[in-house]
Amino acid sequence: MLERKVSLFRNGRSQAVRIPKEFELPGNEAVMRQEEGGRLVIEPTRKETLLEVLDRLEPVEDPWPEFDDPLPEAVDL
C-alpha cells in the first residue's frame, strides 16, 4: 500500500489537502466520507450508466394529454 505524508492548508474557510501526483484522481469530482476513528476516505466518483439512472426512476402515472398532430402531407420527390 502506498503511503505518503501530505500538506494541509487553508483555502478560504475550508481545509484542503495537496494530493501528490501518484495519488491523483480522475475527473473533477470525488466523494469524501469520514469513517469511525476519524479516518477520511476520498474516492473518485463513478459515472452511472443509463440503465442505472433509468432503474431509479419512478413510473409515470399521469395520463398522456390529448393533442392534435396531423400526419404530414405526401411529397413527390
For residue 27, tell me if it sits in a domain. yes
pTM higher than 0.85, yes or no? Answer: no
Q: How many domains does the chain fold into?
A: 1
How many C-beta neighbours within 10 Å does residue 44 have? 13
For residue 12, tell me if it sits in a domain. yes
Q: How far apart are the first and last CA of the chain?
A: 69
For residue 20, tell me if it sits in a domain. yes
For residue 67, tell me if it sits in a domain. no
Q: What is the DSSP string of 5-62?
A: ---EEEETTEEEEPPPGGGPPSSS-EEEEE-GGG-EEEEE--PPPHHHHHHHPPPP-S
For residue 26, tell me if it sits in a domain. yes
For residue 75, tell me if it sits in a domain. no
Integer-rounded Cα Rg, in Å, for the chain is 25
For residue 62, tell me if it sits in a domain. no
Question: Which residue bears the cell 474557510?
Answer: 13
- State residue 47's pLDDT score: 86
Q: Which helix (H) or strand (E) holds 66?
A: none
For residue 65, tell me if it sits in a domain. no
Res. 10: pLDDT tops 90: yes
Tell me the pLDDT tens digit for each residue of 37-71. Answer: 999 999 999 888 999 999 999 998 888 888 888 88
Please give the residue range of the domain that contains residue 20: 8-56
